[in-house]
Amino acid sequence: MLPEEIITQLNAEFQCRDQQIRHLTALYSAHPPSPPSLNLYGLTATGKSSILRSYFHLARIPHAVINVRECITARHLLERIVAASLDAVEEADDGGKIDRRPYARTENLSALCVNMAKLLEGREKFVLVLDAVDKLREGGGTLIAALGRLGETIPSLALILTTTLPLAPSVLHSSSTAFLHFPPYTRSELLTILGAQPLKIFSTPPSLDQFPDYTPDLAAEDDAWLWSRFLQAVYDSLSKHTGRDLISFRTCATRLWRPFVEPVVAGQFGTRDFSRLMVNRRHLFQVEDWVLHRIINTAGPDDDMTTAAAKKKAPNVHVHALPYYTTHILIAAYLASYNPSRTDVTYFMKHTDKRKNKRRAPSAASFSVTGKRTGAKHRKISRHLLTPSPFTLDRLLAIFRALLEGTVPQVADLYTQIATLSSMRLLVRAGIGSNDVLEAGTRWRVGFGWEFARALGRSVNLEVGEYLVGGVD
Amino acid sequence: MEHQRCYIYQPPETEERANKRQRTSKFDPQSRLPERLQIYRSVWAQQEERIQNTLEGADSATQENIVNFISAASSSPDEQKFAIPTALIVAGPSIASHGHFFERLGRRVRDANSAYIVLTSGECPNLKTLLKNLIKKVTSRVEDDDEDEIDRPSTSSRHGPKLLNYDLGHVEEWQKKHRAASIVVALQDSEAFDAGLLVDTIDLFHSWLDRLPFVLLFGLATSAENFEERLAGNSLRFLEGQKFDVIQSDEIIEKLLHATVASTDVRLHIGSNLCRRMLDRQKDHVQSTQDFCDGLKYAYMSHFYASVPSLLLKEGITFSDVTADIFEAVRNLPSFRRWVEDTLDDGRAQDVRNLLEDNEYLFDQVSQHIQSGQQALLSLSHAASVLASIRQAIQMSPTVRLSSIWIRAASGELSGSPLIRETMLSIKKIPSDKLVHLLASLRELEGNYFSIDLASSQQRLDSLLKNTDTPLRTQHDVRNDSLRTTVVAQKVLLSKHKAALSEQDRAYSDIVTEFHDRLETYFASSLVDPRTLFLSEILMYDLKSPHTEVFQPKPRFAIERALASPHDYLGCDCCSGVDGNPAALSATQPATAIVYQMYLESGTLINVSDLWSAFNAIAGDGSDENEPKTMALFQRALAELKYLGLVKPSRKKTDHISKTMWKGL
Ligand SMILES: Nc1ncnc2c1ncn2[C@@H]1O[C@H](COP(=O)(O)OP(=O)(O)O)[C@@H](O)[C@H]1O
Ligand SMILES: [Mg+2]
């Protein structure tokens, strides 16, 4: 394919990337030599991977694309480079078999150099794309630097490294690297790109018998019209502030689309009643639920304000209750993490009157006193906002017993529960210890926050705040 | 005593008859063991089947939903997916039963042409191992165990480069061959996975999503919100799916209890104390259906393994099956004694003599009573179900669970209890619409153990209701003010109607009264105290002893007690204290115990040299030549305390150790 044809085709597929595509075509065409290494950078979803793949596919230059995200270790990356290059070279030779035996192992960088040099000897040009090199899980900077110089040692190899941010010269150790930037899309670019593929208003087209003049063409026109206006509204009200990249914007728009056009599908509004539709569906653009990344897409298509409000209260309905003593263990753990141990005597000493232990609600006076002493500038951070401090198992058990009215037999179940809680990560072992979770001297920490602790307390009629030093307000 | 005669036969006087019986030399606890095991197996097999059915039934709805979700996710394989279909399965804090849940789920998922693998946090410490396991499980590849080889591509250099064994390319090859609709990866205990590992895994799976149809299932013990919080926002955008709630374990336990303990078709009954103990443990400590079933099984085993007369529970037992010592054992049962006394009270001395002397006569009696006792116990269980379903049908509050009703019934507390009275009272006042409902739900329970004539009540009610469309009220109900206030506005209208309605109301009242009386007699006759039954020791297992020790051991308590009062365990004369003071330390006690007791009296930091002098004062004899020996004892004792985790060296002060455990926690 001629370079001009490629450009036209790519431009049709990827709008608003004309300049970058032209750069690519100029740098990597069949004949003139290409830069030994190129760093192609840009934020996520700026089309780096897709455009590279499409371009090299169309340009018919022998190439291999490695998705570095899929490589677990550095060794894995090296093995994959060789395997992918072998495949690519074979394909370029129109299925001519290469003797693969010499390439069985690529344990380290020098093996890679040897193997690649052997493979590419006497060949014209070979492009190796390492996509998302900055996502490499091990190996770090030196490996990238070494890979970057691969292009210098093997003349026919042209290397492309894609990253989110440009590679710093200190990482590359080389001045011959070229750079190509894929800038993030602007508002109008985003609208153009997404506007090119409108979603349908009617997931099942209205029957032709009933509406004989609503032809598919007409429908497509309506879809495009409403979709582009809808995209603008979504961008201006939601995506502008949160997810500006193409994927977030696309996800958000797709999620909102169905509920948005629901009145149109129901026949309440016409397909071009955009302003009335906007007023009717304005609540969709007022809550942030749609842009939050959630696994569970809580809002269904038939959602309106009332159910959304009801949902606010709903989530806790299905919380599985923990056993009685387990709940107390967790509360004790929370208190042990957030109360300094020297206050234990005041809070948990057994009195005949249990009430004496509890904290009285902090009065305004007590605050002003501390304020004066420590100076007004020194703002106290509420304890529960700090990270939990570690405690020993015996302290936990002592507080646990102090919280309960009666006595609890020292059964092994208590320890089983502690082990269970630690595998649920509600209790976390602090520091590295031996593998024995119940070893004496092991220190623990809680793995949950104040809200959860309070809810736990309420489930067993215990106001955790009353036992917490400093209180929570 | 008026039945002095009984003592001719020397019935044992003390309560500790068990000890005496064991001391008779010819008693053989193993007697007829194989037969007893045989009975145990057949009885337990029946229960086990019920347990399986209950468990499978309990979460079948949830599993169905999950399977549907998976097949919906894989229904359009060609469409490009932006996120991994994900099911958050909130399975509750009873982690022990999660394994079984995922196993059952797996059977269903595999049926739908999907690959299904379960990973646990234990087998996945890092990404590499996780992937190796995943690949092994998906492709069912047998791996050579040679550690050296694991990271290397297979040795033979005949084939050129091979995939590393943690390369998902293996799965891709497998998928090309097998074309599974989806590859379902279940992380059984997702919370226990390292958060970073989860993020990496999700990232990796997402990048393979265009080639491998992954579906992720996360098993959660806490809540979906909690889990989402732990994942970084970026991973969340790679996931999209639904939440599934597994039935709570206390509800399953309730169902299990209904199906096993409170069932009306069991040969060995579990007593109320044991049952209460098992349920309390579920409520207080562990929540695990597995544990409940284990407890039940252990109870059954204990009964048949340890009690010789349990042989009498054998179906179709004949006289020749029963050996003499079994008869002897029966004659020693407390319930036998009570029964004999009652028989004597009735003045049937000859019968008693026969019971004591004639094995064949005893056998007949025992067989009869086993039958009737079974009957009584089963109707008791059934009565509990009837009561529970009455309360449910007329929506009485507070809701009392079947388990608690059953336990009260089995401990003989139910008859005449406030619970019964309250229920009967609301039946007296029941309006006709509720009665219709109640009769319908009771008819499901009709049978051998519940045979009051519901049909006639139903008929009469039906014919009465044909002529009215407002609910009828009983005479007791009419006096109920709160119901009257709602019609105050139509007072005139009502008083006009009253005369016309009263006829029907009276007829209705008759039906209700009759129904109420029948129920009352039914409850009175079936709610017996099972412990008063003759042979209740054979029909029912209700012993606390081996059960508590096995299921709720107290290791820490045992160690602390052994160290603090060694006499309790050693039982020797020398350690029982000095001058009648059992708490005093004496040189004869084990050295570790002496040091421990001194440890108990000291503060958080202990000066070792002080400890040594104190120890030497008690254990040493003051002579210089024996001091090295005493020192050795002391050092060993200290080492043992350290080994037990009671002390550790302190960095705060030289020559000090710090105390790490307190007694009684
Ligand atoms: N200009 C564009 N026109 C159409 N789709 C685009 C464009 N740029 C990016 N995309 C789409 O956005 C998604 C993410 O692109 P990708 O190439 O993976 O971005 P990057 O590698 O920069 O993170 C892909 O689905 C791609 O098709
Ligand atoms: Mg990319």
Query: Best mutation site among A50, A135, A185, A250 for ligand 1, i.e. most ligand atoms within 8 A of its Cβ?
Result: A50
Of chain A, the end-to-end C-alpha distance in Å amounts to 70
User: How do beta strands B214-220 and B183-187 pair?
Assistant: parallel
Nearest chain B Cα distance for residue A317, angstroms: 11
- pLDDT exceeds 50 at position A302: no
Residue A92 pLDDT greater than 50, yes or no:
yes
The pLDDT of residue B354 is above 60:
yes
Name chain B contacts of A448, Cβ cutoff 8 Å: 226
A16 Cα: distance to centroid of ligand 1 (angstroms): 11
Q: Label residue A437 by pLDDT band (50, 70, 90).
A: low
Coil vs helix vs strand at A48: helix
Region of B447 please: left (phi>0), alpha (psi -120 to 50) or beta: left
CB of residue A48 inside a 6 A radius of ligand 1 = yes
What's the average model confidence in pLDDT over B12-31? 57
The mean pLDDT of A67-91, rounded to a whole number, is 91
The last residue of one of the domains, among B246, B275, B296, is: B246
Across B288-310, average pLDDT: 91
Peptide bond into B566 cis (omega under 30): no
Alpha helices in B189-323 (DSSP H): 195-208, 224-230, 233-236, 249-259, 272-284, 289-306
For the segment B378-393, the average pLDDT, to the nearest whole number, is 91
Contact list, B159 vs chain A (CB under 8 Å): 100-101, 104
- Whether B121 and chain A come into contact, CB under 8 Å, resolves to yes
pLDDT at B564 over 80: yes
Q: Return all residues near A427 (Cβ < 8 A) that are at least 6 apart.
A: A330, A333, A418, A421, A444, A445, A446, A447
Torsion B51-B53-B56-B60 (CA) sign = negative
Q: What is the CATH number of the domain that holds B606?
A: 1.10.10
Looking at the complex, does the CB of residue B224 fall below 8 Å from at least one CB of chain A? yes
Strand pairing category for A37-41 and A178-181: parallel
Distance from CA of B208 to the nearest CA of A (A): 8
In the structure, what pLDDT confidence band is assigned to residue A440 with cuts at 50, 70 and 90?
Answer: low
Nearest CA to A275 out of A230, A245, A316 is that of A230
Establish if B614 belongs to a structural domain: yes
* Angle between helix A3-13 and helix A48-59 axes, rounded to 10 deg: 150
A241: helix, strand or coil: coil
A246 touches ligand 1 (CB under 6 Å) = yes
Answer yes or no: do A441 and B648 touch at CB < 8 A. yes
CB contacts < 8 A, A to B, total 180
Say how many C-beta atoms besides its own lie within 10 A of residue A377's C-beta: 5
What is the β-pairing status of strands B183-187 and A37-41?
Answer: unpaired
A41: enclosing H helix or E strand:
strand A37-41
Q: How far is the CA of B500 from the centre of ligand 1 (A)?
A: 82
Q: What is the pLDDT of residue A369?
A: 41
3-state helix, strand, coil in chain B (%, to 5): 60, 5, 30
- Subunit contact B285:A416, Cβ cutoff 8 A: yes
Average confidence (pLDDT) over A252-256:
86
Is the Cβ–Cβ distance between B508 and B462 less than 8 Å?
Answer: no
Please say if the pLDDT value at position A25 is more than 70: yes
Interface test with B, best of A320, A407, A459 (most B CBs within 10 A): A320
For chain A, say whether B328 makes contact (Cβ under 8 Å): no
In this predicted structure, the answer to whether residue B159 has a pLDDT above a threshold of 80 is: no
Q: What is the dihedral of CA B590, B596, B600, B602, to 10 degrees?
A: 110
Sort out which chain A residues have CB atoms less than 8 A from B192's CB and list them. Answer: 423-425
Residue B261 located in a structural domain: no
Residue B215 lies in a domain: yes
Distance between CA A130 and CA A160 in Å, rounded? 6
Q: What is the pLDDT of residue B31?
A: 77
B410 inside domain: no
First-last CA distance in chain B: 51
Determine the Cα–Cα distance for residues A395 and B662; give it in Å rounded to an integer.
9
Task: Give the pLDDT band (50/70/90) at residue A8.
Answer: very high
The answer to whether B443 touches B410, Cβ cutoff 8 Å, is no
- Cα(B460)–Cα(B471) distance, rounded to whole angstroms? 15
Touching check for B86 and chain A: CB below 8 Å? yes
User: Mean pLDDT of all residues in chain B?
Assistant: 84
| Distance (Å) from the alpha carbon of B382 to chain A's nearest alpha carbon | 29
pLDDT of residue A423: 84
Average of per-residue pLDDT across A113-130: 90
User: How many structural domains compose chain B?
Assistant: 2
Asked whether the predicted pLDDT for residue B4 surpasses 80, the reply is no
Overall fold of domain A324-354+381-467: Arc Repressor Mutant, subunit A (1.10.10)
pLDDT of B22 > 70? The answer is no
State the distance from the centre of ligand 1 to the C-alpha of A22, rounded, in angstroms.
17
Which fold is adopted by the domain A3-182? Answer: Rossmann fold (3.40.50)
Measured in angstroms, the CA of B140 and the nearest CA of chain A are apart by 22
Choose the final residue of a domain: B246, B261, B281.
B246
In this prediction, residues A146-162 reach a mean pLDDT of: 88
CB atoms within 10 A of CB A40: 24
Which residue type, as a one-letter code, is found at position A39? N
**Does an H or E element contain B117, and which?**
strand B115-119
Instruction: Select from B88, B224, B286 the Cβ nearest to the Cβ of A413.
Output: B286
**pLDDT for the residue B26:** 62
Query: To the nearest whole angstrom, how far is the Cα of A413 from the nearest Cα of chain B?
Result: 6
CA distance B609 to B654: 11
> H helices then E strands: how many in chain B?
31, 10
Note the pLDDT of residue B581. 64
Task: Please say if the pLDDT value at position B88 is more than 90.
Answer: yes
Residues in A closer than 8 angstroms to B243, CB to CB, are 295-296
Residue A15 contacts residue A9 (beta carbons within 8 Å): no
How far off is chain A from B307, nearest CA to CA, in Å? 28
Question: How many CB atoms sit inside 10 A of residue B453's CB?
Answer: 12
A261: closest CA among A241, A275, A279, A281?
A281
With a 6 A CB cut-off, is A192 part of the ligand 1 pocket? no
Residues contacting residue A428 through CB under 8 Å, at least 6 positions apart: A422, A444, A445, A446, A447
Ligand nearest to the CA of A18: 1
In a domain, B225, yes or no: yes
Summarised one tens digit per residue, pLDDT across range B194-253 is 888 999 999 999 999 999 999 999 999 888 888 888 887 678 888 888 899 888 888 889
B237 touches A at CB < 8 Å: yes
Q: Rounded to two decimals, what is the model's pTM? A: 0.80
Could you tell me the residue range of the domain that residue B176 belongs to?
Answer: 60-246
Q: Count the helix, strand and coil residues of chain A and give each as a percent rounded to the nearest 5.
A: 55, 10, 40
Question: DSSP labels for B567-622?
Answer: HHHH--STTS-BTTBTTS--TTS-HHHHHHHHHHHS-SEEEHHHHHHHHHHHH--S
Contact status, residue A322 vs residue A456, Cβ threshold 8 Å: yes
- From A167-176, B425-434, B503-512, the region with the lowest mean pLDDT: A167-176
How close is the Cα of A280 to the center of ligand 2, in Å? 39
Helix B491-526 vs helix B359-393: crossing angle, to nearest 10: 160
Name the residue facing A295 among B128, B192, B236 (closest C-beta).
B236
Percentage of residues of chain B with pLDDT beyond 70: 87
CA of B390 to the centre of ligand 1 (A): 64
Q: Which of A162, A246, A247, A251 to mutate to test the pocket of ligand 1 (most atoms within 8 A of CB)?
A: A246
- Cα of A162 from ligand 1 centre, angstroms: 14
Q: Using a CB-CB distance cutoff of 8 angstroms, which residues of chain A are in contact with residue B287?
A: 322-323
* A249, burial (CB in 10 Å: exposed 0-12, middle 13-18, buried 19+): buried
Residues of A within 8 A of B250 (CB-CB) are 321
Where does the pLDDT of residue A290 fall: very low under 50, low under 70, confident under 90, or very high at 90 and above? low
**pLDDT for A32:** 79
B131 close to B171: Cβ distance less than 8 angstroms: no
Q: Where are the domains of chain A?
A: 3-182, 187-310, 324-354+381-467
Whose tokens are 């920490």? That residue is A445
Please tell me the residue having the least CA distance from ligand 1 atom 17.
Answer: A47
Evaluate whether B441 touches B392 at the Cβ level (below 8 Å). Answer: yes
In this complex, which of A104, A320, A439 lies closest to B161 when CB atoms are compared? A104
- Predicted local confidence at residue B484, as pLDDT: 46
Q: Is the pLDDT of residue A376 over 70?
A: no
Determine the Cα–Cα distance for residues A292 and A268; give it in Å rounded to an integer. Answer: 29
Q: How far is CA A404 from CA A312, A321, B664, in A?
A: 33, 18, 14
Residues B339-350: tens digit of each pLDDT: 999 999 998 999
- B655 assigned to some structural domain: yes
Residues listed for chain A: 473
pLDDT at B97 over 60: yes
| Nearest CB neighbour to A251, from listed B82, B200, B224 | B82
Q: Which pLDDT score is estimated for B432?
A: 84
Burial (CB count <10 Å: 0-12, 13-18, 19+), residue A90: middle
DSSP state of A378: S
Mean pLDDT lowest for which of A35-49, A75-89, B428-442? Answer: B428-442
Residue B84 bridge partners (DSSP):
B239
Last residue of a domain, one of B212, B228, B246: B246
User: What is the phi/psi pair of residue A428, to 5°?
Assistant: -125, 135
Residue A236: Cβ within 10 Å count: 12
Residues 252-311 of chain B whose Cβ lies under 8 A from any Cβ of chain A: 281-287
CB of A37 closer than 8 Å to CB of A173 = no
Contact list, A251 vs chain B (CB under 8 Å)? 82, 237
Give the whole-angstrom CA distance, residue B544 versus residue B271.
10
Residue listed under structure tokens 């009984």 = B6
Cβ–Cβ of A295/B88 closer than 8 Å?
A: yes
Q: Is there a contact between A73 and B239 if contact means CB atoms under 8 Å apart?
A: no
Ligand 1 atom closest to residue A131's alpha carbon, by position in its atom list: 21
Please indicate, yes or no, if residue B567 is contained in any of the structural domains. Answer: yes
At A315 the pLDDT is 43
Q: What percent of chain B has pLDDT over 90?
A: 41
Contact A317, B248 (CB under 8 A): no
Separation of A187 CA from ligand 1 center, angstroms? 15
Q: Can you give the pLDDT at residue B48? A: 93
- Which residues are CB-neighbours of B107 under 8 A, at least 6 positions away? none
DSSP, collapsed to helix, strand or coil, labels residue A175 as coil
Q: Which residue has the higher pLDDT, B598 or B264?
A: B598
The reported pLDDT for the residue numbered A179 is 92
A244: pLDDT strictly greater than 70: yes
Mean pLDDT of A13-26: 92
Question: Which residues of chain B neighbour A320 with C-beta distances below 8 Å?
Answer: 90, 92-93, 221-223, 248-249
Question: Do A294 and B236 count as a contact with CB atoms less than 8 A apart?
Answer: yes
**Rounded Cα–Cα distance for residues B472 and B501 (Å):** 9
* Amino acid sitting at position A385: L
The residue whose CA has the least distance to atom 3 of ligand 1 is: A14
Which residues of chain A make contact with B242, given a CB cutoff of 8 A?
A: 296
Residue of B nearest to A396 (CA): B665
Cβ of A43 below 6 Å from ligand 1: no
Given a cut of 90, whether residue B148 has pLDDT beyond it is no
Which pLDDT band holds residue A306 (cuts at 50, 70, 90)? very low
Continuous segment of H or E residues that includes residue A444: strand A443-446
Supply B517's token pair: 């009386």
Q: Does B341 touch chain A (CB under 8 A)?
A: no
Give the total residue count for chain B: 665
Q: In this predicted structure, what is the pLDDT of residue B150?
A: 44
